[in-house]
């Protein structure tokens, strides 16, 4: 299951509440985030891991899930039905 939720890339952390009306996921398979001080940062041969996904605190599975999204970040959460 997946859903893309756009949000502004600003200096403010955001709390995201997801409410599942039907078939709430039983578990969070993966939660990762890309973030940093420099939105134009890139990987180079000198710094090959400057921009890498990092673990994100996964929300507790249930009909309502709340996750904290860091400032200036892209986050991915993957859910499973069972």
Domains and CATH numbers, the chain: 14-80 (2.60.40.1180)
- pLDDT tens for 33-80 read 988 778 888 999 999 988 899 999 999 999 999 999 988 888 999 999
Residue in the structure block whose two tokens are 């993957």: 78
Largest CA distance in the chain: 48
pTM for the model stands at 0.77
**Separation CA 32–CA 43 (nearest Å):** 18
């Amino acid at each position: 299951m997946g859903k893309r939720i756009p949000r502004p890339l600003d200096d403010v952390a955001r709390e995201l509440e997801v409410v599942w009306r039907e078939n709430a996921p039983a578990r969070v398979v993966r939660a990762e985030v890309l973030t940093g001080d420099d939105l134009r940062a890139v990987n180079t041969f000198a710094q090959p891991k400057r921009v890498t996904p990092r673990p994100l605190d996964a929300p507790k599975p249930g009909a309502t899930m709340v996750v904290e999204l860091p400032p200036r970040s892209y986050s991915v959460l993957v859910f499973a039905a069972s």
